[in-house]
Amino acid sequence: MSNPLEAIHLLEDKLKNLLTNYEFLKEENRVLLQNNAELQVLLQKKERQLEEKQKEYNLLKVAKTIEGSNENTRETKLKINALVREIDKCISLLNT
């Protein structure tokens, strides 16, 4: 690099490369952020579906127990007792 003009041209080339890489990475980051947002929405949707299915499953277990199935009798009794306690608590709060 004996010539200052060569050094300037080399610096310009490196700067152009840096700017090109910067623009590429900026676009890639935008795409990744968009994909991330879409995946977050999908995850929330799947979590809601999972919660709904779990509620349906629990209701089905209660229904099967009431129907006469002996598999989940204990769980159903515990659930009914918990609901009765919760109702009693609400009634006592209303009476105060």
Encode pLDDT of 14-55 as tens digits.
999 999 999 999 999 999 999 999 999 999 999 999 999 999
Q: Provide the token pair at 22.
A: 């910067």
Mean pLDDT of 46-75: 81
Residue 72 pLDDT grade (very low, low, confident, very high; cuts 50, 70, 90): low
- In the prediction, which pLDDT does 70 show? 63
- In the prediction, which pLDDT does 32 show? 97
Please, is 79 exposed, middle or buried when counting C-beta atoms within 10 Å of its C-beta (0-12, 13-18, 19+)?
middle
Pick 36 or 69 by higher pLDDT: 36
- In the prediction, which pLDDT does 68 show? 64
Long-range contacts for 41-49 (Cβ within 8 Å, ≥24 apart)? none
- In the prediction, which pLDDT does 58 show? 84
- Contact between residue 10 and residue 1 where contact means Cβ atoms under 8 Å apart: yes
Q: At what angle do helices 73-95 and 4-67 cross, to 10 degrees?
A: 100
pTM for the model: 0.54
Lowest pLDDT segment from 37-41, 74-78, 88-92? 74-78
Kindly state the DSSP code that residue 1 receives in the 8-state scheme: -
